[in-house]
Structure 1
Amino acid sequence: MTEPANSPFDTNTMLAKAEILVEALPYMKRYAGRTFVIKYGGHAMGDPEAARDFAEDVVLLGAVGINVVVVHGGGPQIGAMLKKLGVESSFVDGLRVTDKETAQVAEMVLSGAINKELVGWIHGAGGRALGISGKDGGMVTARKVTRTRKRPDSNIEQAVDLGFVGEPEHLDTRIIETAVSSGLIPVIAPIGADREGHTYNINADTMAGAVAAAMGAARLFLLTDVAGVMDKDGALLTDLTPQDIDRLEDDGTISGGMIPKLQTCVQAVEAGCEAAVVLDGRVPHGMLLEIFTEKGAGTLIRAQ
């Protein structure tokens, strides 16, 4: 008896699934036992369906032997809470100027609500996650970020005080390694403390890049709201080196918020991460397409 075309036992459908598994197998073998650091953020964080897809992907990666470390953002959620509390926000080069009150709100939102929600999604998908921040176990020693900008009236550079905005000065991976060796997926909020114990809000891309470099990760994934790096005709650029990125920045192909993302990728690959990928976190299972198919789904950055 012939099965209906839409039957779950349809031969063509089953063969297509088998071919996908065959294509993925060499990549599974290549990355088994390696570490992937994934920065999860952007508007995909506010979409329950996208969050569910992300959690399923993370659990699947763990199931095939890949050590997954997640670093998450939460800028829109911090902004919403600050607005609710009547606290005004300002930005310099995409970084939120952070006074002590704002730093407390950022820690509450990042280490509390967002971190534990993401842990819950991973548990719901069948994984075991551990929610931590850069302050736990002394993982991240932060230092204050400094920025300068030119005065419009004189073109003279002047220092800009961003308050409690930090960057990793030192990263101790022991707590991450302990979690991974116990079969847990670390989910890290981008908060750190300096040597005097002051709390700093850290850009999630920057934190993920530092973790990937310190772990010698096989891949750093920056999930964002665009497909990757586009050329001037709107076509996706799939493979870039730091030299390519300098050239594309000079001719204006790369601009705006993509510049600091790619700077993070370059710093990570030059400091020990094998490769970094910028891809659209809103595409269902986009990470799996990037990892387990020949074509990929985003922009890959290698040191050379």
Structure 2
Amino acid sequence: MPKTAVVALGGNVLTLEGQSGTYVEQELNALHMAETVCSLRDAGWNVVLVHGNGPQVGNLAIQQEQGEPLVPQQPLFCLGSMTQGQIGSILTLALRRVGGSRIPDVASLVTHVVVEADDPAMDRPTKPIGPFFDADQATLLANQRGWSVAEDAGRGYRRVVPSPEPTRIVEAGVIKTLVDSGVIVVAAGGGGVPVVRQDKGYTGVDAVIDKDYAAQQLATALKADALVLVTGVERVLLDFGTPQQRPVREMTAEEAERHLGDGQFPEGSMGPKVRAALRFIRNGGEAAVITTPRLVQASLDAEAKADADVGTRIVTSRTQVGATR
């Protein structure tokens, strides 16, 4: 029976640093990610693809604001659903173009993710969205539009919005049915549309869920074998920015927990990815991988040699000889 991998890629994988986010740019970037997914399928994996939407939803929010009063502005959670459709379409077309007859079917599913209305994060905006601004631009926009802004990893200032914890994937059962049928599924895009439970169904809330946490929730619900967190660096680094900086090929959940507690993985960069990986492992997952698209397939190979070119694997127990501790 094929194994299942939930693969999470950031919105910045589709809009690279220095790009403005045109459709053509995103389309070309999606083709590179499609190569990775198709190689996983060729290796016998079922794949669920989760994507971020930080650049895209922020850009769309600006368009919404600029469009008033000609057209009514839509709430942030609604923009999340719009970008799910937008990016889902780009990824689906890329997969079909790259995979051809190797890909039996692809489905992009607008996904709703339950959060708690009283989550403290609703009152503490931390999730960056949209383009980067310098300090003066950010201050001006914050005053003009009532934004919360914050510096993002030394690259400039961005708008920040609430990012509550996901507690359940509403469409998890439907996604499992599709995966079990051999369909490549694009789901929980942008972390999913955040909703809260009411007496009669659900209602949307203005927030953006971290896509790595949503991917973990989905991977756990599907009882997936692997969680893959795609990022811009090949391996997690310990003592980043110091003369002792070194990459990690493999670490146990216990080691990752200790490094996280020691402050090795800041919240603004690698922290959410390592935390999502730990949650997956603690909830029964076999392995979590953090790496670039190029190394995804090799990193999922449990039989990879100690000197193989792989990303960072977080596992329940030590499996590779000579891995960096």
TM-score, length of structure 2 as denominator length: 0.67
Q: Answer yes or no: is the 8 Å Cα contact 2:85–2:110 preserved in 1.
A: no
Shift of 1:296: 4.5
DSSP 3-state at the match of 2:167 = strand
Q: Answer yes or no: is the 8 Å Cα contact 2:11–2:51 preserved in 1.
A: no
1:134 corresponds to which residue? 111
2:87 corresponds to which residue? 114
Q: Is structure 2 residue 30 aligned with structure 1 residue 51?
A: yes
2:185 corresponds to which residue? 186
Query: After superposition, what is the alpha-carbon deviation per residue over 1:261-289, rounded to whole angstroms, capped at 9, x for unaligned?
Result: 211111111012111111124xxx32123
From 237, 246, 260, the equivalent of 1:235 is 246
Shift of 1:64: 3.4
Q: Is structure 2 residue 90 aligned with structure 1 residue 78?
A: no
Q: Answer yes or no: is the 8 Å Cα contact 2:234–2:290 preserved in 1.
A: yes
Q: Answer yes or no: is the 8 Å Cα contact 2:280–2:288 preserved in 1.
A: yes
DSSP 3-state at the match of 1:245 = helix
Query: Which 5+ residue runs of structure 1 have no aligned equivalent?
Result: 1-31, 88-98, 150-161
Q: Answer yes or no: is the 8 Å Cα contact 2:299–2:313 preserved in 1.
A: no
Task: Give the total of aligned pairs.
Answer: 243
Alignment of 1:274-293 (within 5 A): 274-281=286-293, 285-292=294-301, 293=304
1:168 corresponds to which residue? 166
Amino acid at match of 1:132: L
2:204 corresponds to which residue? 199
Shift of 1:223: 0.5
DSSP 3-state at the match of 1:133 = coil
Rounded Cα–Cα distance in structure 2 between residues aligned with 1:268 and 1:193: 22
Check 1:211–1:80 CA distance in 2 against 1; reply closer, same or farther (3 A cut). Answer: same
Rounded Cα–Cα distance in structure 2 between residues aligned with 1:174 and 1:86: 36
Shift of 1:163: 7.9
Rounded Cα–Cα distance in structure 1 between residues aligned with 2:77 and 2:251: 36
1:249 corresponds to which residue? 260
Rounded Cα–Cα distance in structure 2 between residues aligned with 1:203 and 1:63: 29
Which has the larger Rg? 1
Shift of 1:210: 0.6
Q: Share of identical aligned residues, percent?
A: 26
Amino acid at match of 2:246: A
DSSP 3-state at the match of 2:65 = coil
Shift of 1:226: 2.1
Shift of 1:166: 4.2
Check 1:258–1:163 CA distance in 2 against 1; reply closer, same or farther (3 A cut). Answer: closer
Query: After superposition, what is the alpha-carbon deviation per residue over 1:138-165, rounded to whole angstroms, capped at 9, x for unaligned?
Result: xx4443442377xxxxxxxxxxxx9874
Rounded Cα–Cα distance in structure 2 between residues aligned with 1:289 and 1:302: 15
Shift of 1:133: 2.2
TM-score, length of structure 1 as denominator length: 0.71
Q: Answer yes or no: is the 8 Å Cα contact 1:164–1:199 preserved in 2.
A: no
1:300 corresponds to which residue? 313
Shift of 1:250: 4.2
Rounded Cα–Cα distance in structure 2 between residues aligned with 1:208 and 1:103: 18
Q: Is structure 2 residue 9 aligned with structure 1 residue 40?
A: yes
Shift of 1:61: 2.0
Check 1:298–1:84 CA distance in 2 against 1; reply closer, same or farther (3 A cut). Answer: same
Rounded Cα–Cα distance in structure 2 between residues aligned with 1:71 and 1:132: 10
Q: Answer yes or no: is the 8 Å Cα contact 1:217–1:272 preserved in 2.
A: no
2:280 corresponds to which residue? 268
Amino acid at match of 1:129: V
Query: Which 5+ residue runs of structure 2 have no aligned equivalent?
Result: 16-24, 67-72, 125-159, 318-325
CA RMSD of aligned residues (A): 2.7
Q: Answer yes or no: is the 8 Å Cα contact 1:276–1:301 preserved in 2.
A: yes
Query: After superposition, what is the alpha-carbon deviation per residue over 1:30-58, rounded to whole angstroms, capped at 9, x for unaligned?
Result: xx611100002142212544421221221
Rounded Cα–Cα distance in structure 1 between residues aligned with 2:193 and 2:232: 23
Query: After superposition, what is the alpha-carbon deviation per residue over 1:114-158, rounded to whole angstroms, capped at 9, x for unaligned?
Result: 1111111111122321000223xxxx4443442377xxxxxxxxx
1:10 corresponds to which residue? none
Q: Answer yes or no: is the 8 Å Cα contact 1:227–1:298 preserved in 2.
A: yes
**Greater alpha carbon shift after TM alignment, 205-214 vs 56-65:** 56-65
Check 1:50–1:236 CA distance in 2 against 1; reply closer, same or farther (3 A cut). Answer: farther
Query: After superposition, what is the alpha-carbon deviation per residue over 1:234-283, rounded to whole angstroms, capped at 9, x for unaligned?
Result: 321111223322332344432232112211111111012111111124xx
